[in-house]
């Protein structure tokens, strides 16, 4: 396989293989790989880059950044996958004075729309899929199939690409779901441990390194209650414990739990328990 040097891209020899067969000879018309490359020591950064077709980049080593349409800059690390596509601008590349090991594949076809409609979501977000020798082997196999120039092997490369992307996205989604569940558990634990302060969504969100809308969505999805109602319910549960196990006055409990208005606090308690705090204490 031919290697060549391009010091604007990488100080190490790079490989780039484009489609060597007439597309009309391919049996699979809905997905075609038009180019595949390996840039083992990429130093080149791209700013406000645009593309007329889809491509993926798998980073097998190194660190860098990725940003779409001037949005939030995302960190790229070993085992990351990201996409570039038409009708958007991209900033990406290795860290300043650094490099990364990049495999990229350009592809086109109607099959992409089917992916976007069914399982290829959040294409502007980096997918962390990890590093495995098997992944590199599959990418190298695509290299060989495309370089052969044999139509049937080029078709085989397209099928392998679809299988590989689907595998990557499934793995990324599983990792994301596990991380999200862990984050939610930590969030709920944090809320439960801070009942003795006024409800402050911004403070809670900052403490957990998330935005307020994300905080509200996570609590609602996990508990079935809006954020404020969920916290009120936790505070009422704590109030019941204090009423039964301490001699604290209702006003003291109200103030301790962050409620400055005792009347409001009593109405809230009655709403969720069915009786006033004093009645609850006397009946138990």
Task: From 146, 177, 208, give the residue that closes a domain.
Answer: 177
Residue 117 covered by a domain? yes
Residue 182 covered by a domain? no
Ordered mean pLDDT values, 10 residues apiece, the chain (284 residues)? 85 95 95 97 97 98 96 93 98 97 98 95 91 94 96 97 94 66 84 93 90 88 92 95 94 94 94 94 87
Task: From 149, 177, 205, give the residue that closes a domain.
Answer: 177
Residue 10 covered by a domain? yes
* In a shared domain, residues 167 and 268: no
User: How high is the pLDDT of residue 184?
Assistant: 83
Task: Give the CATH number of the domain where residue 128 resides.
Answer: 2.60.120.10
* In a shared domain, residues 220 and 146: no
User: How high is the pLDDT of residue 164?
Assistant: 96
* In a shared domain, residues 170 and 238: no
* In a shared domain, residues 133 and 233: no
Residue 185 covered by a domain? no
Query: Domain residues for 135?
Result: 4-177
Helix axes 151-192, 111-118, angle to 10 degrees: 20
For residues 182 and 174, give the distance between their C-alpha atoms in angstroms, rounded to a whole number.
Answer: 12
* In a shared domain, residues 171 and 246: no
Angle among Cα 198, 203, 205 to the nearest 5 degrees reads 125
User: How high is the pLDDT of residue 211?
Assistant: 84
137 alpha carbon, distance to own chain's centre: 26
Residue 184 covered by a domain? no
- pTM of the predicted protein model: 0.66
Name the residue among 275, 73, 82 with its Cα closest to residue 168: 82
Specify the number of domains making up the chain: 2
Task: Give the CATH number of the domain where residue 279 resides.
Answer: 1.10.10.60
For residues 121 and 72, give the distance between their C-alpha atoms in angstroms, rounded to a whole number.
Answer: 18
* In a shared domain, residues 202 and 162: no
* In a shared domain, residues 28 and 121: yes
* In a shared domain, residues 102 and 221: no
Residue 155 covered by a domain? yes
* In a shared domain, residues 89 and 219: no
Task: From 177, 203, 220, give the residue that closes a domain.
Answer: 177
């Amino acid at each position: 396989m031919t290697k060549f040097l391009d010091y604007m891209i990488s100080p190490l020899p790079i490989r780039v293989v484009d489609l060597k067969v007439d597309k009309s000879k391919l049996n699979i018309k809905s997905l075609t790989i038009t180019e595949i490359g390996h840039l083992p020591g990429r130093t080149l950064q791209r700013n406000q880059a645009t593309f007329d077709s889809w491509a993926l980049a798998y980073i097998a080593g190194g660190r860098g950044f990725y940003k779409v349409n001037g949005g939030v800059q995302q960190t790229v690390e070993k085992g990351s996958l990201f996409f570039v596509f038409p009708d958007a601008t991209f900033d990406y590349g290795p860290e300043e004075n650094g490099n990364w090991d990049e495999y990229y594949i350009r592809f086109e076809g109607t099959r992409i729309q089917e992916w976007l409609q069914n399982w290829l979501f959040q294409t502007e977000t980096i997918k962390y899929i990890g590093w495995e020798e098997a992944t590199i082997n599959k990418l190298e196999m695509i290299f060989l199939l495309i370089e052969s120039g044999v139509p049937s092997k080029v078709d085989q490369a397209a099928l392998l690409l679809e299988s590989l992307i689907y595998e990557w996205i499934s793995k990324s989604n599983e990792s994301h779901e596990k991380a999200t569940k862990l984050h939610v558990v930590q969030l709920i634990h944090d809320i439960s441990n801070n009942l003795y302060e006024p409800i402050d969504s911004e403070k809670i969100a900052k403490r957990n390194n998330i935005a307020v809308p994300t905080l509200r969505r996570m609590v609602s999805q996990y508990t079935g209650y809006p954020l404020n109602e969920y916290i009120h319910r936790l505070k009422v549960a704590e109030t019941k414990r204090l009423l039964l196990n301490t001699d604290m006055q209702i006003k003291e409990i109200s103030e301790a739990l962050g409620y400055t208005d005792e009347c409001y606090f009593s109405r809230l308690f009655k709403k969720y328990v069915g009786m006033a705090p004093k009645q609850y204490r006397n009946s138990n």
